[in-house]
Structure 1
Amino acid sequence: MQCPKCKSENVTVELVQSSSKTKKHGNSLGGHVNNAARGVTALCTLGMSNLVWKKSKGNEKTKYKNETMCVCQNCGKSWKA
């Protein structure tokens, strides 16, 4: 690979993370029933059950987008491959 600016062959190719997207999914019916049962149990035990029974949260899924970047070691120019 050649640098477009100085025509040097001394070029490194790197994979760079350019962006990410996070999707959040809700609890659904099972999670809501779990949280309601947790609240009732907390009232009956004066809040002591909350020390061991944690609240049900939604799920998250993250996707990353990568790009290939080239960097000339002589002149420092960078470009997408």
Structure 2
Amino acid sequence: MKCPKCGSENVNVQLIQATGKTKKHGNGLGGHVNNAARGLTAMCTLGMSNLVWKKSKGSEKTTFKNETVCICQNCGNSWKA
């Protein structure tokens, strides 16, 4: 691979993370019923059940997009491959 600026073949190719996107999914009906039952049990046990029974929060999934970037070691020019 040659540098488009100086024509050198001393080029380093790197893969970098360009962007990330997080998708969040809700609880659904089962999660809402679980949280309601948890609240009722907490009222009956004066909050002691909350030490063991955790709240349903849903789920998250993160995806990343990668880009290939070339860097000339002679002149410092960088470009996307």
Sort the TM-score into its range (normalised by shorter chain): over 0.9
Segments of 5+ residues of structure 2 without an aligned counterpart are: none
Q: Write the deviation string for residues 1-46 of structure 1: whole angstroms up to 9, x where unpaired.
A: 0001111000010001110111100000110000000000000000
Q: Give 1:57's aligned amino acid.
A: K
Q: How many angstroms does 1:75 deviate by? A: 0.6
TM-score normalised by length of structure 1: 0.98
| 1:15-30 equivalent positions in 2, closer than 5 A | 15-30=15-30
Letter in 2 for 1:41: T
Runs of 4+ displaced beyond 2 Å: none
TM-score by length of 2: 0.98
After TM superposition, the structure 1 = structure 2 runs for residues 29-40 of structure 1, keeping only pairs within 5 Å, are 29-40=29-40
Question: How many residues get paired?
Answer: 81
Aligned-pair RMSD on alpha carbons?
Answer: 0.5
Give me the identity figure in percent: 79
Gaps of 5+ in 1: none
State the AA in 2 paired with 1:74.
Answer: N
